[in-house]
Amino acid sequence: MEQEKDRAVIYGRHPVVDAIRAGTPIDKVMLQQGIRGEMEKELRHLCKAEGIPLQVVPKERMNKMIRGNHQGVAALQALIRYYRLEDVLPTIFERSESPLLIVLDGITDVRNFGAIARTAEACGAHALIIAQKNSAQINAEAMKTSAGALAKIPVCRENSLATAIEYLKLSGIQVLASDLQARKPIYTLGLIQPIAFVLGAEGEGISPAIARMADETFIIPQKGTTDSFNVSVAAGMMLYEAMRQRELNG
């Protein structure tokens, strides 16, 4: 095992497979280009089953990253445990609670991610939902910015956000998305019901395919001429309004 910046690197074919099977939190598995055979098939199967991203990398990068005999396989150990949405959501309902969830679409800035996690945990959100790809790395900076919240709030890492949102809708969750063109202010919505807020990256916003899946859109009113709020600030306002309504209604 070696260290890459703030995370441990597990390397070697059997150590990586054993780590995955043992439930070790893994950020991603790296497979050297050209590796074929049963080991490759097993790794791909395990990564798919456990929702772990698998990245194919050049031999030069593997050799630069790991000095030992890596056998073309390495895994970056995660700083947190990742959850499955299909496991988290039923437990919320079993506690007779109304789910309050955050779906992050394309948010790659670790500070924004950490700040959103901090606010989400403080406002009583039940989980963050992210995609395997095009999401912020949960590294030491994200952990620090979250002020410890990332160690408390479940982070569900899903193969497909679209599939995750479809599952939410089928489970009775109202999917709400912020839209600068929307007419309804957020405070006019009923946020006591089971809901999932969808947040997109600054600049790009929510991807069109995900935006089309929203049950309802809303706007956060503003007085100034600045285009929009920072995404972590917007998340704070959404979550606080949801918490306020829920507190008022017991």
Q: Which residue bears the tokens 């947040």?
A: 199
Q: Is the pLDDT of residue 1 over 80?
A: no
Please give the CATH number for the structural domain made up of 2-77: 3.30.1330.30
- CA contacts within 13 A on the Cβ side of 215: 17
What are the sequence ranges of the domains in the chain?
A: 2-77, 82-248
Band of residue 30 on the pLDDT scale cut at 50, 70, 90: very high
Q: What pLDDT is stored for residue 38 in this prediction?
A: 87
Residue 221 near residue 185 (C-beta atoms within 8 A): yes
Domains 2-77 and 82-248 share a fold: no
* 116 closest CA partner among 229, 12, 239, 222: 239
**pTM listed for this prediction:** 0.88
Span between the terminal Cα atoms of the chain, in Å: 50
* Yes or no: domain 82-248 corresponds to CATH 3.40.1280.10: yes
Average pLDDT score, the chain: 92
The pLDDT-based confidence of 163 (bands split at 50, 70, 90) is very high
Secondary structure (H, E, C), 71-123: CCEEEEECCCCEECHHHHHHHHHHCCCCCEEEEEECCCCHHHHHHHHHHHHHC
4 pLDDT higher than 70: no
Average pLDDT over residues 18-23: 91
| Confidence grade of residue 196 (pLDDT, cut at 50, 70, 90) | very high
Pairing of strands 174-178, 82-83: unpaired
